[in-house]
C-alpha cells in the first residue's frame, strides 16, 4: 500500500537541534520571497496561449529527462514511456506510461527528482499518499481532472507560484512569436526570453544549416559575410532585448575563448562557413564568438552566461532514434584557467561586463572558478548546475566556492528547468540548502546571525536581481 506523503517543515535542515533552529529562522526570512527564474527552458507558448495542460504523463514525465533517464538506466524503454522520438507524438497510452513511473519510484530514492516530485504532488495537487502502483491510476485521474480546470492553466499557476520573472531560452533563428504575443496580451506576468545563439555559432551542431537560413531571413543580412553575420547578431540581440531579454547564454562543449585580430576572425569565419571545417576550426570559431559576444555585451548591456562542458548525445543509438536532449549528455573535465584567459585579458577588467560561468565539473569550483571570480571584476559564478542542482551538489558549491569568492561573486539560484510545475520545488530546495549552509556557519561562530539573515535574502532575491539586471 502506498505510504503517506508529507513534506516535513524541516526537510533539508541539519538534524542537530541548534543548527536546525538557526536554519529554520533563516528560512523564515526567504520562504515567501517571490521567485526570480532568470534561466530556464519552459515553453513560452504555454503562457502565450494559456491553454490547459493535457495529462500527467505528458506534463510531468515525458518532457523530463531526469525522470526517464533513470528509468532507462534500469531497462525501461523510452518507447514504453511515451518519450517522443524526434518530436513525433508517441502512440503509447499516457496512463500506461504513468504506471511505469509509479512502478519504479524506488529508483529515485535519495535523488532530487524524488523531492521535486513529492513537492509537486503534495503542494500543487494536494496528494496525501505517495505515488506507487496502487495509487498510479488515482494520481493520473486526479491530475488530469485538475489540469482541466482554470486554476491549473499556465498563467494561473505562474501567479500561484509567486513568480516575479521567468526567462525562457530561444535562438536567434527563432521568431519569438509567443513572446510578442505575451507582450501584446496585457497579462501582467513577466515572461522574458534569453539569447542562445549556439545553433548559428556551432558549425558542428546538426541544426546549423537551417538555423542560419532562418537567421538570415529574420535579419535581412547576408549572414555568410562576416560583417553581415555580426550585424545579424546585433539585430537579433536588440530584438530579444525589446522582448525583455537581459542575458545571452552559450552552451559550448568547452569554455574556450579566443582573441583573434579582426582579419584573422574574418578569415576563420570564411573557412568555417563554407562547410567542412576541421574540429579545431569549429572550436576556434566558437571560442572567438564568445569574445565577440562579450564585445557586443559591452554595447548593449546583455549579461553573458557560459554553460560549458557537456558531451552532447553521448549515446549514438538513442540520438539516432530519438534526437537530442534525451538524457544522454554527459559532463566532461572542463578547463577554465587557460580557456577563459583570452576573453578575460581582453575585457575582464571592465566592470561594465558581466559574465556568469557555470560548470558540470565540480573540481573547478575551488581550483579555478572561485579564484577567477574572486579576482576578475566581470566574472560571477552561476549556481550548481544540472546534475549538481541537488542538495549535496549545492552544499559542495557553497563549501568549495565561498571561502575564496565569497557570496557576492555568486548570483543566487537558477532552476534551468523545462518542468514548469517543479519551479517552486526547486527554488525551495535551493533556499533550504543555502539556509542550512549559513546556519552551520552561524553555529560555528563563523558568521553572525544578522549577517546570515542578510546573506540569505541576498542569495534568494537580491543577487539574481542584480546579476541579471532584472
Answer for the pair 194, 170: CB distance below 8 angstroms, yes or no.
Answer: yes
> Measured from the CB of residue 165, what is the shortest distance to a copy of itself in angstroms?
24
Q: How far is the CB of 325 from a copy of itself (least distance, A)?
A: 13
- The nearer residue to a copy of itself, 203 or 433, going by C-beta atoms, is 433
DSSP conformational letter for 38: -
Give the DSSP letter string of 325-346.
-SS--EE-----TTTSHHHHHH
Residues 169-208 that bind a copy of itself (CB under 8 A): none
In the region spanning residues 1 to 40, those forming contacts with a copy of itself, defined by CB under 8 A, are: 3, 8, 10-16, 18-19
Pick from 37, 390, 414, 422 the residue near a copy of itself by CB under 8 A.
390
Determine the Cα–Cα distance for residues 196 and 194; give it in Å rounded to an integer: 6
- Rounded CA gap, 30 and 432, in Å? 9
Q: Does 294 bind a copy of itself (CB under 8 A)?
A: no
Footprint (CB under 8 A) of a copy of itself, residues 48-87: 69-70, 72-75
69/286 with CB nearer a copy of itself: 69
Neighbour-count burial of 278, counting CB atoms closer than 10 A to its CB (0-12 exposed, 13-18 middle, 19+ buried): exposed
**DSSP 8-state assignment for residue 421:** G
The CB-of-385 to a copy of itself minimum distance in angstroms stands at 12
> Using CB under 8 A, which residues numbered 111 to 170 contact a copy of itself?
111-112, 114-115
Say which residues have a Cβ less than 8 Å from residue 424's Cβ, sequence separation at least 6: 35, 119, 123, 124, 161, 162
Binder among 387, 418, 457, 466 for a copy of itself (CB under 8 A): 387
Kindly determine how many residues on this chain lie close enough to bind a copy of itself according to the rule CB under 8 A: 91
Q: Does 371 bind a copy of itself (CB under 8 A)?
A: yes
Other Cβ atoms within 10 Å of 256 Cβ, number? 22
Q: Residue 246 contacts by C-beta under 8 Å, 6 or more apart in sequence?
A: 38, 167, 192, 194, 301, 302, 303, 468, 469, 470
Instruction: Restricting to residues 94-113, name those near a copy of itself by CB under 8 A.
Output: 106-112
State the virtual CA torsion across 327, 332, 334, 339 in degrees, nearest 10.
-80
Instruction: State the minimum distance, in angstroms, from the CB of residue 443 to a copy of itself.
Output: 4
Q: How far is the CB of 280 from a copy of itself (least distance, A)?
A: 17
DSSP-derived 3-state class of residue 295: helix
Read out DSSP for 429-466? HHHHHHHHHHHHHHHTTSS-HHHHHHHHHIIIIIHHHH
359 close to 309: Cβ distance less than 8 angstroms: yes
The grid coordinates listed for 393 are: 551538489
Among 241, 243, 277, 337, binds a copy of itself (CB under 8 A): 337
Residues 298-327 that bind a copy of itself (CB under 8 A): 311, 314-318, 327
Query: Stretches 79-87, 146-154, 181-189, 395-403: which one binds a copy of itself (CB under 8 A)?
Result: 395-403
**Which residue lies nearer to a copy of itself by CB, 223 or 373?**
373
Grid cell 510545475 is found at: 421
Single residue of 419, 455, 456, 467 touching a copy of itself by CB under 8 A: 455
Q: Look at residue 406 and give its three-state secondary structure.
A: coil
Could you say whether residue 376 binds a copy of itself (CB under 8 A)? yes
Closest approach, Cβ 424 to a copy of itself, in A, equals 17
Determine which residue in the list 52, 228, 301, 374 makes contact with a copy of itself, applying CB under 8 A. 374
Among 32, 184, 188, 445, indicate the residue that binds a copy of itself (CB under 8 A).
445
Nearer to a copy of itself, 185 or 404 (CB): 404
CB of 228 to a copy of itself, least distance (A): 32
Out of 35, 212, 306, 372, name the contact with a copy of itself by CB under 8 A.
372
Set of cell numbers at residue 188: 501582467
Rounded to 5°, angle at Cα 231 from 255 and 348: 35
Least distance (Å) between residue 220 CB and a copy of itself:
38
Between 171 and 348, CB nearer to a copy of itself: 348
**What is 119-166 written as a DSSP string?**
HIIIIIT---B---GGGHHHHHHHHHHHHTSGGGSHHHHHHHTTEEEE
Segment interacting with a copy of itself, rule: CB under 8 A, options 85-93, 192-200, 270-278, 451-459: 451-459
Site string for a copy of itself, 218-257 (x = CB under 8 A): ----------------------------------------
Residues in region 339-368 near a copy of itself by CB under 8 A: 341, 344-345, 348-349, 351, 360-363, 366-368
Q: Judged by CB, which is closer to a copy of itself: 150, or 444?
A: 444
Where does residue 252 fall: left (phi above 0), alpha (psi -120 to 50 degrees), or beta otherwise?
A: beta
Full strand arrangement of the beta sheet holding 191-192: 35-37, 163-167, 191-192
Which of 31, 103, 377, 465 contacts a copy of itself by CB under 8 A? 377
φ, ψ dihedrals at 81, nearest 5°: -85, -5
Binding mask 397-416 for a copy of itself (x = CB under 8 A): --xx-xxxxxxxx-------
Name the one residue in this structure whose C-alpha cell is 566532461: 332
Smallest distance from a copy of itself to CB 368, Å: 7
Amino acid at each position: 500500500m502506498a505510504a503517506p506523503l508529507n513534506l516535513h517543515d524541516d526537510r533539508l535542515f541539519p538534524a542537530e537541534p541548534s543548527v536546525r533552529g538557526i536554519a529554520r529562522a533563516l528560512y523564515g526570512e526567504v520562504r515567501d520571497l517571490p521567485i526570480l527564474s532568470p534561466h530556464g527552458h519552459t515553453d513560452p507558448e504555454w503562457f502565450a496561449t494559456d491553454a490547459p495542460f493535457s495529462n500527467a504523463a505528458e506534463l510531468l514525465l515525458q518532457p523530463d529527462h531526469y525522470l526517464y533517464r533513470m528509468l532507462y538506466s534500469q531497462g525501461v524503454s523510452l518507447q514504453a514511456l511515451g518519450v517522443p522520438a524526434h518530436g513525433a507524438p508517441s502512440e503509447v497510452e499516457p496512463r500506461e506510461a504513468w504506471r511505469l513511473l509509479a512502478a519504479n519510484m524506488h529508483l529515485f530514492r535519495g535523488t532530487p527528482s524524488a523531492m521535486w516530485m513529492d513537492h509537486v504532488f503534495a503542494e500543487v495537487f494536494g496528494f496525501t499518499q505517495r505515488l506507487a502502483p496502487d495509487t498510479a491510476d488515482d494520481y493520473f485521474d486526479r491530475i488530469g481532472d485538475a489540469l482541466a480546470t482554470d486554476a491549473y492553466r499556465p498563467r494561473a499557476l505562474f501567479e500561484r507560484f509567486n513568480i516575479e520573472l521567468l526567462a525562457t531560452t530561444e535562438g536567434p533563428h527563432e521568431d519569438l512569436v509567443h513572446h510578442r504575443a505575451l507582450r501584446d496580451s496585457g497579462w501582467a506576468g513577466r515572461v522574458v526570453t534569453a539569447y542562445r545563439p549556439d545553433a548559428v555559432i556551432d558549425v558542428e551542431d546538426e541544426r546549423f544549416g537551417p538555423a542560419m537560413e532562418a537567421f538570415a531571413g529574420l535579419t535581412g543580412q547576408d549572414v555568410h559575410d562576416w560583417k553581415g553575420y555580426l550585424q545579424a547578431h546585433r539585430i537579433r540581440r536588440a530584438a530579444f532585448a525589446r522582448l525583455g531579454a537581459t542575458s545571452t547564454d552559450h552552451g559550448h562543449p568547452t569554455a574556450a575563448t579566443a582573441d583573434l585580430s579582426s582579419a584573422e576572425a574574418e578569415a576563420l569565419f570564411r573557412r568555417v562557413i563554407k562547410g567542412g571545417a576541421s574540429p579545431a576550426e569549429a572550436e576556434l570559431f566558437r571560442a572567438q564568438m564568445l569574445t565577440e559576444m562579450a564585445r557586443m555585451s559591452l554595447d548593449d548591456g546583455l549579461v553573458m552566461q557560459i554553460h560549458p562542458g557537456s558531451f552532447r548525445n553521448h549515446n549514438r543509438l538513442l540520438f539516432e532514434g530519438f534526437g537530442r536532449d534525451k538524457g544522454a549528455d554527459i559532463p566532461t573535465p572542463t578547463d577554465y584557467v587557460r580557456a577563459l584567459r583570452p576573453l578575460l585579458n581582453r575585457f575582464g577588467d571592465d566592470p561594465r561586463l558581466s559574465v556568469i560561468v557555470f560548470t558540470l565539473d565540480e573540481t573547478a569550483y575551488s581550483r579555478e572558478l572561485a579564484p577567477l571570480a574572486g579576482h576578475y571584476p566581470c566574472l560571477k559564478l552561476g549556481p550548481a548546475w544540472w546534475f549538481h542542482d541537488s542538495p549535496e551538489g549545492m552544499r559542495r558549491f557553497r563549501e568549495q566556492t565561498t571561502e575564496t569568492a565569497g557570496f557576492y561573486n555568486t548570483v543566487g539560484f537558477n532552476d534551468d528547468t523545462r518542468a514548469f510545475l517543479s519551479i517552486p520545488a526547486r527554488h525551495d530546495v535551493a533556499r533550504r540548502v543555502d539556509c542550512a549552509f549559513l546556519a552551520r556557519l552561524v553555529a560555528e561562530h563563523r558568521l553572525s546571525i544578522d549577517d546570515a539573515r542578510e546573506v540569505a535574502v541576498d542569495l534568494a532575491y537580491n543577487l539574481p536581481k542584480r546579476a541579471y539586471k532584472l
